[in-house]
Amino acid sequence: MREKILEMEEYANEHNVPIIEKDSIAFIMKFIKANNVKSVLEIGTAIGYSAILMAQSTDDVVVTTIERDETRYMEALKNIKKCDLENRITVHYQDALEMNLSGVSYDMIFIDAAKGQYTKFFEKYKYFLNPGGVIITDNLKFHGHVGNRSNIASKNLKQLVGKIEDYIDFLKNNEEFETKFYDVGDGLSVSIKKNDI
Ligand SMILES: C[S@@+](CC[C@H](N)C(=O)[O-])C[C@H]1O[C@@H](n2cnc3c(N)ncnc32)[C@H](O)[C@@H]1O
């Protein structure tokens, strides 16, 4: 299995596919184990790297993951098959903001897709959490740009960083959820519904 993980890391590197940092996925795998997470919804599959590692956290956690890019979706299917995890990982080829979920809920939701849309993902998917469930978000430091907007020359990048900063404020001021921020990898948050604490 380690070899397959290394192959995915090489592929991501060669094809410029952003995948989660090692410390962050280690944190999430530990979280899944420690909190007895049985079901995960991931927004942003890319090539299936984090989905495969999350599924390997325990023997019985199941992962549903959503990807809107066809090439990455196909690559994810291939990798999941190679790792023999087709029975525990389901990939949807769809835009997560257009997807209609019903009758399902999850112990953990992992937001790792378009950074400018984090608040939309959070607001849409918070209804699909089981009691005691959490929403984890990655890339809140955005390679050190967050909190340092004045040093950025590109207008688009500045705008994107502004959206991540807005999302952090949204989490901090959210009356429904209690959020803890972790200086792990590219910055992670763990949000738990207040009445579930
Ligand atoms: C950072 S990558 C995901 C990395 C992956 N979680 C991992 O660590 O292996 C973000 C992915 O989200 C996908 N994405 C962005 N916006 C999306 C959306 N609205 N719906 C579905 N996928 C989306 C992108 O195509 C990209 O492949």
Name the residue ranges covered by the structural domains of the chain: 2-196
How far is it, in rounded angstroms, from Cα 16 to Cα 179? 31
Does 50 sit in the ligand 1 pocket, CB within 6 Å?
yes
**Which of 46, 44, 45 shows the shortest CA–CA distance to 16?**
46
| Residue 196 pLDDT greater than 90, yes or no | no
Residue 122 in contact with ligand 1 by CB distance below 6 A: no
CB 141 less than 6 A from any atom of ligand 1: no
Give residue 197's pLDDT band: very low, low, confident or very high (50, 70, 90).
Answer: low
Handedness of CA 84, 87, 89, 94 (dihedral sign): positive
CB contact at 8 A, 96 and 119: no
What pLDDT does 118 receive?
Answer: 97
Summarize the confidence of residues 133-141 as an average pLDDT.
96
State which of 8, 15, 108, 112 you would mutate to test the pocket of ligand 1, scoring each by most atoms of that ligand within 8 A of its C-beta: 112
Listed residue (50, 40, 37) closest to 8, CA to CA: 50
48 and 42 Cβ atoms separated by less than 8 Å: no
Closest atom, ligand 1, to C-alpha of 46: 27
Number of H helices, E strands in the chain: 6, 7
Say yes or no: CB of residue 46 within 6 Å of ligand 1.
yes
Q: Which of 85, 81, 9, 82 is nearest to 46 (CA)?
A: 9
Of 31-45, 81-95, 147-161, least confident by mean pLDDT is 147-161
Q: Is the pLDDT of residue 106 over 80?
A: yes
List, in sequence order, every beta strand (DSSP E) within 69-145. Answer: 89-93, 106-111, 129-137
Q: Is residue 44 lining ligand 1, measured as CB closer than 6 Å?
A: yes
Rounded Cα gap, residues 101 and 96, in angstroms? 10
Tell which atom from ligand 1 comes closest to the C-alpha of 97.
19
pLDDT score of 191: 98
Please indicate whether residue 186, judged by its CB atom, sits closer than 6 Å to ligand 1: no
| Per-residue pLDDT, 1 | 83
> At the fourth CATH level, which superfamily is domain 2-196?
Vaccinia Virus protein VP39 (3.40.50.150)
63 backbone dihedrals φ, ψ, rounded to 5°:
-125, 130
